[in-house]
């Protein structure tokens, strides 16, 4: 078994020797994992089947980068490998104690950024022309995903392939309410799932990521997906999307399980706004990144959502954090928040206009450091829960096309407030 021992080493001697033993590869598929024994076997088999079917003439490697699992994840990976001659299987194990020194758990996968870094370095050493990374908790992955993530790189010379899937209307609420509409408005390119977790990359893109000095920072550890997407868009790489069908994974109630992820991702989005301020200040409007694959409708698993719990968290925060938010939001918006806190859950509605203003004001407060940045973003969690509660009630009887239209209206609202953001941002810099 290969081990990653040092904090500052990407691939130590034994791991590098194993990679050298493979020699070279055209395609590397990386699967980061942490306690995913229930699902990772299916992911490995789908990856190997897809590589054998769609890239039979190429040298392919499947690489599992594990974060110190204690549930037998790597045993399942070994048992799942059905043809190691066609697609060699490499296992990189990160001792759990070492990972804890590096990072805070990222949705159950400690050190997701460091796991990606190991995959990218192995791909670079192997001289891979294309690299794909896929989540280890997927239940809807099929062999066709390999073709859809890798072929645009090999055939059409794209550098970054983002996933485009269908999800239940209550799944992906961080993406739908903040990340997708805000990043589209900021950088002018619409990538529907910028934090989807499953990507295709060119060798050039992989090497570029490895040169960036972020791998021991919070950006890489907590928000690796949105960092990868934003970097690709803003630094001149060719970006597209591939339609993968359904995204069925270990979905969670957004009101109960997604708090840590929301804080990590939004903090990274705000940090990237500072890095690429010159880019988004000059951007106007947006266009959709090209989409590959045939779009089709699929059945999606329902997700239980506790609206009253989310509204309760919102009310509590308005009472307890009102003084803090007085330095972030206008007096008029604070009055609107206090009025919302007095509304019965069934009538609760945080509209697009107020939500967009709150998010943009939070970004500007982050920029001007009105308080500890981590504390500021954590305070926004209750606002996000209020927005999700409002969205759930708004689209409860809506069809999928109607839900999509609602999300696109929110994106348009963010784009329409671009001038407001620029003015507030410049005020913060004075």
Could you report the per-residue pLDDT of 343-375, keeping only the tens digit for each?
A: 998 899 999 999 999 999 999 999 999 899 999
| Residue 231 and residue 136 in one domain | yes
Lowest mean pLDDT among 80-89, 175-184, 214-223, 391-400: 80-89
Total domains in the fold of the chain? 2
What pLDDT shows up at residue 260?
75
Has residue 95 been placed in a domain? yes
pLDDT band for 110, please (50, 70, 90 cuts). very low
| Residue 288 and residue 311 in one domain | no
Has residue 297 been placed in a domain? no
Q: C-alpha dihedral over 112, 117, 123, 128, to 10 degrees?
A: 90
Has residue 83 been placed in a domain? yes
Domain limits for position 417: 307-428
pLDDT band for 302, please (50, 70, 90 cuts). low
pLDDT band for 5, please (50, 70, 90 cuts). very low
| Residue 11 and residue 118 in one domain | yes
Task: With a cut of 50, say whether residue 307 has pLDDT above it.
Answer: yes
Q: Which residues of 53-85 are buried (b: 16+ CB within 10 A; e: fewer)?
A: ebbeebbbbbbbbbbbbeeebbebbeebbeeee
What does R_g of the chain's alpha carbons equal in angstroms? 22
Task: With a cut of 70, say whether residue 103 has pLDDT above it.
Answer: no
What pLDDT shows up at residue 104?
22
Question: Which of these three, 265, 292, 319, is where a domain ends?
Answer: 292
Has residue 68 been placed in a domain? yes
Has residue 298 been placed in a domain? no
What pLDDT shows up at residue 176?
94
| Residue 76 and residue 122 in one domain | yes
Closest CA to 269 of 210, 181, 387, 205: 181
pLDDT band for 101, please (50, 70, 90 cuts). very low
Residue with more model confidence, 63 or 428: 63
What pLDDT shows up at residue 205?
98
| Residue 266 and residue 315 in one domain | no
> How many CB atoms lie under 10 A from the CB of residue 231?
20
What pLDDT shows up at residue 40?
85
Residues 379-399 have a mean pLDDT of 92
Q: Which residues of 148-170 are buried (b: 16+ CB within 10 A; e: fewer)?
A: bbbbbbbeeebbbbbbbbbbbbb
Task: With a cut of 80, say whether residue 303 has pLDDT above it.
Answer: no
| Residue 62 and residue 116 in one domain | yes
| Residue 269 and residue 369 in one domain | no
Q: Supply the CATH number for residue 86's domain.
A: 3.90.550.10
| Residue 258 and residue 134 in one domain | yes
| Residue 316 and residue 271 in one domain | no
| Residue 204 and residue 116 in one domain | yes
What pLDDT shows up at residue 216?
79
Residues 290-309 have a mean pLDDT of 78
Closest CA to 112 of 205, 31, 54, 20: 31
What pLDDT shows up at residue 312?
94
Q: How far apart are CA 116 and CA 120, in angstroms?
A: 6
Has residue 19 been placed in a domain? yes
> How many CB atoms lie under 10 A from the CB of residue 296?
9
Residue 33 · residue 73 · CB < 8 Å: yes
Q: Which residues of 197-225 are buried (b: 16+ CB within 10 A; e: fewer)?
A: bbbbbbbebbebbeeeebbeebbbbbbbb
Has residue 302 been placed in a domain? no
Has residue 94 been placed in a domain? yes
Question: Which of these three, 292, 318, 336, is where a domain ends?
Answer: 292
Question: Which of these three, 267, 292, 317, is where a domain ends?
Answer: 292
| Residue 202 and residue 315 in one domain | no
| Residue 128 and residue 218 in one domain | yes
């Amino acid at each position: 078994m290969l081990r990653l021992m040092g904090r500052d080493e990407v691939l130590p001697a034994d791991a590098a020797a194993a990679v050298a033993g493979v020699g070279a590869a055209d395609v590397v598929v990386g699967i980061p994992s942490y306690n995913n024994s229930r699902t990772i076997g299916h992911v490995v088999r789908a990856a190997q089947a897809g590589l054998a079917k769609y890239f039979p003439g190429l040298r392919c490697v499947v690489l599992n980068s594990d974060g110190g699992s204690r549930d037998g994840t790597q045993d399942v990976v070994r048992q799942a490998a059905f043809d190691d001659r066609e697609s060699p299987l490499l296992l990189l194990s990160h001792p759990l104690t070492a990972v804890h020194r590096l990072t805070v758990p990222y949705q159950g996968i400690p050190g997701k950024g460091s796991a990606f870094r190991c995959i990218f370095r192995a791909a670079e050493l192997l001289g891979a022309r294309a690299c794909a990374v896929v989540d280890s908790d997927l239940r809807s992955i099929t062999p066709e995903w390999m073709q859809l993530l890798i072929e645009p790189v090999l055939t059409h010379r794209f550098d970054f392939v983002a996933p485009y899937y269908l999800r239940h209307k209550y799944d992906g609420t961080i993406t739908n309410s903040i990340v997708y509409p805000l990043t589209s408005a900021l950088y002018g390119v619409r990538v529907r799932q910028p934090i989807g977790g499953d990507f295709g990359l060119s060798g050039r893109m992989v090497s570029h990521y490895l040169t960036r000095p972020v791998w021991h920072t919070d950006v890489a550890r907590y928000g690796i997906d949105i960092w990868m997407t934003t970097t690709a868009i803003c630094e001149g790489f060719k970006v597209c999307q591939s339609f993968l069908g359904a995204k069925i994974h270990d979905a969670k109630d957004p009101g109960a399980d997604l708090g840590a992820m929301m804080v990590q991702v939004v903090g990274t989005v705000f940090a990237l706004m500072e890095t690429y301020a010159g880019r988004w200040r000059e951007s106007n409007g947006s266009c959709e990144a090209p989409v590959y694959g045939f779009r089709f409708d699929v059945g999606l698993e329902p997700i239980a959502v506790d609206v009253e719990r989310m509204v309760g968290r919102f009310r509590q925060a308005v009472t307890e954090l009102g003084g803090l938010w007085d330095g972030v939001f206008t007096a008029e918006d604070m009055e609107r928040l206090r009025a919302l806190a007095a509304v019965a859950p069934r009538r609760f509605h945080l509209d697009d206009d107020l939500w967009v203003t709150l998010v943009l004001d939070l970004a500007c407060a982050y920029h001007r450091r009105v308080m500890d940045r981590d504390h500021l973003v954590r305070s926004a969690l209750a606002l996000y829960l209020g927005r999700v509660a409002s969205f759930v009630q708004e689209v409860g009887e809506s069809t999928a096309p109607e839900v999509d239209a609602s999300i696109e209206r929110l994106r348009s609202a963010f784009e329409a407030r671009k001038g407001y953001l620029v003015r507030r941002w410049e005020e913060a810099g004075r």
